[in-house]
């Protein structure tokens, strides 16, 4: 028990340790000068500021031995850009066959941090930034992929450093908390508050301004993903047209499944006609939700007609035209299947606005 308390204390969980010690324990800590009744934050559930060295002595650990212990733990613990240890959780994801039937469900382990600035928002999705491992992938689509467009090639190998990207598209509540307004057309989620719907009617300039404002508010660098980062994150190690397999169905994504069903009795079964909550459906193998469909997502890159001359790194690819069109990815609630493929790409002007345009953000290490 004592060893586990020491471990928790060294990982920064001082208040949880104090709580486990109980009333007698905290009284002893205060009387022994280990803790003072001085709140660090008004929201802190236990208003005590504690000394690590004195607390470790209280727990029966010599501070000489602790030096070696702390060094070992600090070198193995992954630290988020917030300066705090990364969190970890298990999620379920699925794979489908060529007919769209779910053929496998597996568990994935995701490491992440929640942006502290937006944790003041209650009962809504956090700005959860998922750790994406460094790697190399083949960007673009092969010549034999169904519905392939010339603008998706030629395929090239891209080296991608590790980075953090939002598990979800930016929500309406998050956007309003940072920018002070909500430009979205769809603000009602099946009769409920649309706080967790992705923000839409967002121009590229709006998305860029959000990133700059969030960076200023948090002291961390937030930005739009490069097109290479976006596709790498979307594929999550897969080479199939979709991260879930060879095809997509409305059971695992929000898109316009079959345009031919317009004005038929099956229309509602195949078309929701609205975005859905940003955490809907299963995540991909990296723990990212709705990379296919729901809302189109802006990237940092200027649009190029194809990948001829594209860099082999994952940095944004600019044309030198400050007013040039920007890349959008992923498809939306209004898109059919081909537009939602991992390699599919499109463009719009920097001031183009649509109720299918949203975005997610990257945080630099």
Backbone angles phi, psi at 51, to 5 degrees: -95, 125
Instruction: Name the one residue in this structure whose structure tokens are 């190998």.
Output: 157
Evaluate whether 252 touches 281 at the Cβ level (below 8 Å): yes
What are the pLDDT digits (tens) for 66-89?
333 333 333 346 899 999 999 999
What are the pLDDT digits (tens) for 303-352?
999 999 999 999 999 999 999 999 999 999 999 999 999 999 999 999 99
Sign of CA dihedral 142, 148, 153, 157: negative
Q: Which long-range contacts (CB under 8 A, 24 or more apart) does 62-66 make?
A: 66/10
353: closest CA among 199, 225, 215?
199
What are the pLDDT digits (tens) for 101-145?
999 999 999 999 999 999 988 889 999 999 999 999 999 999 999
What are the pLDDT digits (tens) for 10-22?
444 444 444 455 4
Q: Supply the DSSP symbol for 66.
A: H
DSSP secondary structure letters along 121-143: S-SS---EEEEEPPEEEEES--T
pLDDT confidence band for 36 (50 / 70 / 90): low
Backbone angles phi, psi at 103, to 5 degrees: -115, -10
How far is the C-alpha of 327 from the C-alpha of 345, rounded, in Å? 7
Task: Identify the pLDDT of residue 46.
Answer: 39
Q: In what order do the strands lie in the sheet with 128-132?
A: 87-96, 102-114, 128-132, 163-166, 362-363, 222-223
- All structural domains of the chain, each given as residue ranges with its CATH number in brackets, are 2-76 (no CATH), 87-363 (3.90.1580.10)
How far is the C-alpha of 201 from the C-alpha of 184, rounded, in Å? 5
Task: Identify the pLDDT of residue 193.
Answer: 78
Query: Residue 302 pairs with which residues in a beta bridge?
Result: 326
What are the pLDDT digits (tens) for 253-305?
999 875 544 444 554 556 788 999 999 999 999 999 999 999 999 999 999 99
CB atoms within 10 A of CB 159: 14
How far is the C-alpha of 227 from the C-alpha of 238, rounded, in Å? 17
Evaluate whether 96 touches 252 at the Cβ level (below 8 Å): yes
Look up residue 77 and give its two tokens.
Answer: 């613990």
DSSP secondary structure letters along 289-346: --SSBSSEEEEEEEP-SSSTT--SBSS----S-TT--EEEES--TT--GGGGSTT-EE
How far is the C-alpha of 79 from the C-alpha of 87, rounded, in Å? 9
358 membership: H or E segment, kind and range: strand 357-358
The packing angle between helices 2-10 and 63-76, to 10°, is 60
């Amino acid at each position: 028990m004592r060893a586990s308390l020491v471990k928790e204390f060294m990982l920064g969980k001082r208040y949880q340790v104090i709580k486990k010690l109980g009333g007698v324990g905290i009284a002893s800590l205060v009387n022994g000068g280990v803790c003072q009744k001085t709140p660090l934050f008004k929201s802190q559930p236990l208003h005590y500021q504690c000394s690590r060295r004195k607390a470790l002595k209280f727990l029966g650990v010599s501070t000489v031995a602790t030096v070696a212990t702390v060094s070992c733990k600090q070198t193995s613990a992954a630290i988020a850009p917030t300066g705090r240890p990364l969190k970890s959780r298990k999620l379920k994801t699925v794979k489908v066959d060529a007919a769209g039937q779910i053929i496998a469900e597996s568990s994935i382990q995701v490491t992440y941090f929640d942006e502290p600035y937006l944790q003041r928002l209650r009962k809504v999705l956090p700005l959860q930034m998922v750790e994406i491992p460094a790697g190399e992938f083949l960007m673009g689509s092969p010549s034999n992929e169904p519905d392939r467009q010339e603008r998706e090639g030629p395929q090239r190998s891209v080296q991608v450093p590790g980075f953090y990207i939002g598990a979800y598209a930016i929500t309406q509540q998050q956007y309003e908390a940072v920018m002070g307004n909500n430009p979205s057309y769809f603000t009602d989620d099946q009769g409920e508050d649309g706080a967790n719907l992705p923000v839409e009617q967002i121009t590229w300039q709006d998305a860029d301004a959000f990133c700059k404002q969030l960076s200023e508010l948090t002291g961390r660098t937030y930005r739009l993903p490069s097109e290479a980062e976006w596709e790498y994150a979307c594929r999550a190690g897969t080479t199939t047209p979709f991260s879930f397999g060879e095809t997509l169905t409305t059971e695992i994504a929000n898109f316009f499944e079959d345009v031919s069903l317009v004005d038929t009795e099956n229309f509602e079964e195949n078309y929701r006609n609205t975005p859905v909550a940003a955490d809907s459906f299963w995540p991909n193998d990296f723990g990212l939700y709705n990379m296919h469909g729901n809302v189109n997502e802006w990237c940092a890159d200027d649009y190029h007609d194809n990948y001829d001359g594209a860099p082999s790194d994952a940095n944004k690819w600019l044309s030198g035209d400050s007013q040039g069109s920007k890349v959008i990815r992923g498809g939306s609630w209004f898109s059919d299947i081909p537009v939602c493929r991992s390699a599919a790409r499109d463009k719009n002007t920097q001031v183009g606005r649509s109720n299918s345009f949203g975005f997610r953000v990257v945080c630099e290490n």
